[in-house]
A and B are shown apart, each in its own frame.
Chain A
Amino acid sequence: MIRSRTFQLAVPALIVMALLPLGVDGYILGLLTLAYYYAVFAMSWDLLFGFAGEVNFGPSFLIGIGAYTAALLNHYWLWPIPACLVAGAFAAVIAGAVLAVPALRLTGPYFGLVTLVAVLLLQNMIVLFAGITGGEIGLDLPDVLSIDDNTNYYYALVFMTVSGAILFGLAQSPVGLILQASGQNATEAAALGFNVAKHKLAAFCISAFFSGLAGAMLIFYMGTASVGTVVDIAVGVNVIIAAVLGGRRTIIGAALGAIFLIGAGEILRPLGQLATFVVSAVALVVILFFPGGFMGRILQSGGRE
Chain B
Amino acid sequence: MLALQILIDGFAISSLYALGATGFTLIFGVSGVLNLSHGAIMVVAAVIAWWVAGTFGAGAYLGALAGVAAALACAFFTYSVIVRPIQNSGAIPKEEKEIFVLTGTLLWGIMLQEAVAYLFTDNPKTVRPLVDGVVMILGVRTPWNEILTAALSWGAIGLLYLLVNRTRTGKSLLAASMNPRGLTLLGFEMSNIYVLVWAIYGILAGIAGVLLGAFLGVSSANAGTLTASAFSIVVLGGLGSVSGSLIAAYVVGYLETMTAYLVSPSIRTVPVLLLLVLVVYLRPQGLLGRR
Interface, chain A (partner B; CB < 8 A): 49, 53, 55, 102, 105-106, 108-110, 112-114, 116-118, 120-121, 124, 127-128, 184, 233, 237, 240-241, 244, 248, 273-274, 276-277, 280-281, 283-284, 287-288, 291-292
Contact = CB atoms under 8 A, between A and B. Distances in A.
Contact of A120 (B106, B110, B273): B273
A74 to B, nearest CB: 27
A281 B111 contact: yes
A288 B104 CA distance: 8
A248 B106 CA distance: 17
A276 B114 contact: yes
A273 B231 contact: no
Given A110-B235, A113-B232, A273 B117 contact: yes
B56 interface: no
Interface in B219-252: 224, 228, 231-232, 235, 239
A188 to B, nearest CB: 13
B107 A287 contact: yes
B111 A113 contact: no
A243 to B, nearest CB: 10
A128 B277 contact: no
B269 A124 contact: yes
A109 B91 contact: no
Contact of A274 (B82, B107, B114): B114
A124 B207 CA distance: 30
Interface string B104-139: 101110110011011000000000000000000000
B143 interface: no
B197 to A, nearest CB: 18
Given A184-B95, A276-B114, A284 B273 contact: no
A120 B34 contact: no
A128 B267 contact: yes
Contacts of A244: 99-100, 103
Contacts of B98: 55, 108-109
B200 interface: no
Contacts of B92: 291
Contact of B269 (A53, A105, A120, A291): A120
B270 A124 contact: yes
Given A113-B235, A277-B110, A277-B115, 10 more contacts: A106-B284, A110-B280, A113-B232, A113-B280, A117-B280, A120-B269, A273-B114, A274-B114, A281-B107, A287-B107
Interface in B32-71: 34
Contacts of A128: 266-267, 270
Nearest to B105: A284
A280 B270 CA distance: 30
Chain A facing B: main interface SS: helix
Contacts of A120: 228, 269, 273
B164 interface: no
Contacts of B86: 287-288
Contacts, number: 103
A102 B100 contact: no
A287 B269 contact: no
B85 interface: yes
Contact of A121 (B106, B232, B274): B274
Contacts of A117: 232, 273, 276-277, 280
A281 B104 CA distance: 10
Q: Which of B99, B228, B231 has the most CB of A within 10 A?
A: B99
A106 B103 contact: no
B108 A284 contact: yes
Contacts of B91: 291-292
A198 to B, nearest CB: 21
Contact of B111 (A110, A118, A241, A280): A280
A143 to B, nearest CB: 32
B280 A102 contact: yes
B82 A49 contact: no
Given A117-B277, A273-B117, A273-B118, A49 B231 contact: no
A43 B267 CA distance: 34
Given A102-B281, A113-B232, A288 B85 contact: yes
B107 A284 contact: yes
A116 B228 contact: yes
A277 B103 contact: no
A272 to B, nearest CB: 8
Contacts of A284: 82, 104, 107-108, 111
Q: Which of A108, A118, A288, A292 has the most CB of B within 10 A?
A: A288
A228 to B, nearest CB: 13
Contacts of B231: 113, 116
Contacts of B89: 288, 291
A118 B281 CA distance: 13
